Amino acid sequence: MATWRRSMATSRSALSHFERTAHQPRQNGLHEVILSKIEPVNPRIRLLQLALLNRASLKFLPGQWLDVFVPGLAKPGGFTITSTPRDAEQHSPRDGYVELAVQESPKNPPAAWLWRPSAEILGASLRIRVGGSFVWPPPGMHAEELKRLVLVAGGVGINPLISIFAHIYNQPALQPEHIRFLYTSRGAAQTVDEILFYPRIRKLMAARPSPHRTLELYLTGPGDASHVGETHGGLVEEVSVRSRRISHDDLVSALGPVEGRKGVVAYVCGPARMTDEFVGVLQGGDGMTADRVLCEKWW
């Protein structure tokens, strides 16, 4: 499949996660987990760690999501895994866990439950199941054949891409030679730590700096974005901050030279309209084919 859309048309927005993803692959088994940690990122997003029980490692690919069954609700919520497969392994520095970034959404019953006061839900037992096909490496492709990776995230569309990015960054021998990460957020008025996963991306890039792996952060909305580059002594060379939207020229530039595009793969995740627009631009780039532009929409 050339591209995969986690959400369907906007007219289907009233459907539950389970109904929207009924056609997507799911693992058969359910895993019991404990909600072991809650960490606020900003006023609307919190990070949750789900500790694995019975010392059974959870198997998943970067980019996949979870069906999350919370107490008292028959239908699961759908939340993207933001940690890496290595984090779920028992020989990781901490006990195995998976991480979710959950946006406050009072009209979404599972999300609303996960946004209850921490004291009410910490330690609760949940059940989870892995699903989805928006994954790294791309279906039918071998990672070692890919020379350039382009990641394009809009808002909480960063969630599957941080899992992919961190997984690749921790495996230097298997990562593409070039990685271009374009991330747009309504974050001009936020502090650095409130921009979802921006500190984590910078930390990864600072640990293994390379001019061939760059982050371009595009901040929209009211406010001055200059403070983002001033925190912690300024930007590393591979990170740039721009106070505007991602342009079509930015996307085409990220694909690199036309003669090398047979080794390029692009992932796009964000709001439906943005995703459709950007996928069209990337697929239409000289030397690109539809099967090398994967997408997922959030709703």
| Of 58 and 217, more confident | 217
Q: Residue 54 above 80 pLDDT?
A: no
Instruction: Quote the mean pLDDT of the chain.
Output: 88
| Of 252 and 5, more confident | 252
Each residue of 171-197: b (16+ CB within 10 Å) or e? eeeebbebbbbbbbbebbebebebbbb
Report the pLDDT value the prediction gives residue 55, as an integer from 0 to 100: 61
Measured CA to CA, the distance from residue 115 to residue 159 in angstroms comes to: 18
Residue 169: enclosing H or E segment and its boundaries? Answer: helix 158-169
* 44-73 average pLDDT score: 92
**pLDDT tens sequence across 172-181:** 888 899 999 9
**pLDDT tens sequence across 197-245:** 999 999 999 998 999 999 999 999 776 555 555 443 445 568 999 999 9
* 116-133 average pLDDT score: 97
Query: DSSP character for 71?
Result: T
**Tokens matching residue 179:** 């990685």
Report the pLDDT value the prediction gives residue 173, as an integer from 0 to 100: 84
**pLDDT tens sequence across 6-42:** 332 334 456 788 888 888 999 998 999 999 999 999 9
Report the pLDDT value the prediction gives residue 226, as an integer from 0 to 100: 59
Report the pLDDT value the prediction gives residue 228, as an integer from 0 to 100: 59
